[in-house]
Chains A and B, each alone.
Chain A
Amino acid sequence: MVALTERGLRDFDWQTAILAILISFFGVWQIHNAVPSENYWSKQIFGIVIAFIAFIVVAFTDYRRLIDAAPIFYAFGLVLLFLVLTPLGVEINGQKAWVRLPLVGQFQPSEFVKIPTVLMLAKYFGARKSTVLTLREALVGGAIFAGPLALIMLEPDAGQAITYFPILAAMFFLSGIKIRYVVIGTVLAAVMVPTAYIVGVKTGKIKRYQQERILAIIDPDKVDPRGYGYHTIQSVITVGKGGISGIKGDPETSQSVLKFLPEPQTDFIFAVTAENTGFIGCVSLLLAYALLLSRMIASARQASDRAGMLVIMSIVCGLAFQIFMNVGMALGFLPVIGVPLPLMSAGLSAILSTFIAIGFVVSVRMRRFVN
């Protein structure tokens, strides 16, 4: 660990840290707007404090030593995910995605295990020397990835599972996968996703509520507004209602306070933001995310080794994907799956894992001249 020397402080990425802190406190404000009567917002402040400490610790730790230790973290992560499936797992809203441990309390392993997975993949792909991704490498990478994914699918938590894919995609893409495979993969996805949906509906593998969530996006007026399409419709109304500069007047009559908007402090925090701060607030938030991602990508370009670059870029891809999925859901053009909005949604696990991830980005950046 680099001591908090003058050099350490000079190389520390203040810009990333400040952006992350700003966004997360903007989030606290929105959590308060969402449910003023509950103390979610104060819990979130507590979470941010913890997360920031973890962030500092990770940032000042040499990421290379952590990548070296990746197999241990990875194995530990798999154990945590396995615990979810044991009686230690806690079921909330019909999903067994949490685990309660003595002293630590209750948390969501699938949020944290992203980091060991990234480290493990970065360790493997960062060490390779070939210029083009080979089939063997792809298979090994796939195997590393498959472990946590399989355990998450067993919970089942499709929403979290989906957020793992950008990590693998980033690894493959930046490890020189041939462009033609990228094109083939994209085309295949474009064909396979609708096909899979239709087959799934026909065979009954896709459940009725899942179908309704999809239909709510394709044709929101035709879906039962009181059924699963309800969430999408109410979110769109909430966003639209915000107008250019957000609601004026009585916050007691907001969509979330009157409970028209479901899960306002977590999944639909963006709709709350939209209602309260309008187009101006939303665009500012998206710009802040863009700035944060740009800064991280710039750090990736300056990384002193391939593994560091891979860590940053897979985190960038993961965050960008989550932002897009979550906001797209709130804006009614992506299906309702429980993906939290990074740095904004209430939840200790999410805020902690996001800050730790950003800690790695800063750690890599701080060591850009060390070689």
Chain B
Amino acid sequence: MNITPDPWIWLSALLTLAIFSFLFRDNIIYQFAEHLFVGMSAGYLIAITWHNQMLPNLFEPLFIQGNLVYIIPLLFGLCYFARFIPKIGYLVRLPIAFLLGWGSGAIIPAIFQRDILKQTQGTLLVREAFSKWDTGLWAIIMLIGVISVLIYFFFSKERKGIMKPAANLGIIFLMLGFGASFGYTVMSRISLLIGRLQFLLGDWLGIIK
């Protein structure tokens, strides 16, 4: 065992143990560590927003370089605070309308490209997919999966005849998807625990290399 003398690692280790103490039950040590984390995160975000966003993108160009065009975004930004004054509260709609309009214009075509066109293309049975037997088989399974799940979410027709088994097959594909997601979530959480234990046993206590 080769315990580190580094005070920062000690602090980090003790705070980790403080958070872990919640696993037994809620307690004051856990609450202290939690509040410390929330406070520090908020402070860090405020500082980084000021130095990384407000200062270089608004205050320096406007007040130091004297670029008056920046008055427009300043006024737009100030409109958000109009909400606090009921008489001019409607002004908040201006920046929201701008953001919604600009955001929709930027995002909608890209989403069509990313999620609809490319994904539909990926579901098509093309000749290249059958260059090997296994890729061909997966392509067919994927097509069946997509169609059956779409049928499951098609609510305009009663589930009778072929629609019923197709929708049930869709449920199986959905469950497989949920199962994979849950498995990955467990893996993720265990990874976080491993990371902390590697830190405690390695960086702090020096038991593992």
Interaction A to B: no
